């Protein structure tokens, strides 16, 4: 961003794993850290499973993992590495596929003959307690934070976006973040000024 300057009555930081970099432009530290995760997708096949399967057991190499069949027929899968891998490296590894496939087949052998189409690697925007950060920091009062979804962005993002749009339209600001809405509890629970003294129990 260099020496560029930007002017607006309101800015929104929804930059995911890069949110801390954006916050530094406004002169404050944001406790959001990039946590590398890999995922994969198979070829499409006729539908044979309905629920998402989540195995919360862990072993020496990995934590929980999940897989589900998309409406288009592919099986999409992901696993939590152990220990966590911090950083922004997007290159796929040679260890991911053997690890996740072994665990998936132990649980559901029917997946054995599916062909994997591709794998990819991205970042979860992690906070110390595993909860998002929502609100206006004291040091940048017109800079709304909406980040730190910790891997749940596709599930939480649309609802949070709609909620924040309503608060902005209702006059939300640093001094009264919820505006004329009933959503004050969201800003209280997910405040950037919270203690972060809890830890995430499941990822």
Q: What is the CATH number of the domain that holds 17?
A: 3.50.50.60
pLDDT at 70 exceeding the cut of 70: yes
Residues 38 and 116 in one domain: yes
Residues 120 and 72 in one domain: yes
Of 109, 124, 139, the residue that ends a domain is 124
The reported pLDDT for the residue numbered 121 is: 95
- CB burial string 95-119: b at 16+ within 10 A, e below: ebbebbbebbeeeeeebeeeeeeeb
Of 124, 141, 170, the residue that ends a domain is 124
The pLDDT mean for the chain works out to 93
For the chain, the C-alpha Rg in angstroms (whole number) is: 20
Domain housing 176: 11-32+129-189
Of 124, 146, 161, the residue that ends a domain is 124
The reported pLDDT for the residue numbered 203 is: 54
Question: What whole-number distance in Å separates Cα of residue 124 and Cα of residue 152?
Answer: 8
β-pair partners for 125: 34
pTM comes to 0.85
The reported pLDDT for the residue numbered 153 is: 86
The reported pLDDT for the residue numbered 151 is: 87
Q: Average pLDDT, stretch 138-144?
A: 96
126-129 LR contacts (CB < 8 Å, sep 24+)? 126/32, 126/33, 126/34, 126/35, 126/150, 126/151, 127/31, 127/32, 127/33, 127/196, 128/31, 128/196, 128/199, 129/194, 129/196, 129/197, 129/198, 129/199, 129/200
15 or 200, which is more confident: 15
Number of structural domains found in the chain? 2
Residue percentage of the chain with pLDDT more than 70: 97
The reported pLDDT for the residue numbered 95 is: 93
Q: Average pLDDT, stretch 9-25?
A: 96
pLDDT at 1 exceeding the cut of 60: no
């Amino acid at each position: 961003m260099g020496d560029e300057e930007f002017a607006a009555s309101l800015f929104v930081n929804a930059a995911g794993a890069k949110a801390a970099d954006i916050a530094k432009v406004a002169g404050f530290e944001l406790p959001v850290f990039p946590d590398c995760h890999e995922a994969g997708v198979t070829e499409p096949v006729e539908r044979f499973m309905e629920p998402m399967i989540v195995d919360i057991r862990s072993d020496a190499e990995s934590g929980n993992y999940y897989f589900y069949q998309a409406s288009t027929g592919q099986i999409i899968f992901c696993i939590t590495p152990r220990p966590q891998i911090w950083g922004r490296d997007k290159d796929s590894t040679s260890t991911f596929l053997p690890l996740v496939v072994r665990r998936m087949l132990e649980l559901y052998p029917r997946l054995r003959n599916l062909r994997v189409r591709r794998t990819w690697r991205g970042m979860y925007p992690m906070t110390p307690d595993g909860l998002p950060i929502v609100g206006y920091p004291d040091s940048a009062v017109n800079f709304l934070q909406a980040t730190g979804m910790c891997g749940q962005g596709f599930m939480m993002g649309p609802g949070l976006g709609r909620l924040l749009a309503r608060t902005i339209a209702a006059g939300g600001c640093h001094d009264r973040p919820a505006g004329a809405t009933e959503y004050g509890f969201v800003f209280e629970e997910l405040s950037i000024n919270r203690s972060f003294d809890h830890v995430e129990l499941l990822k």
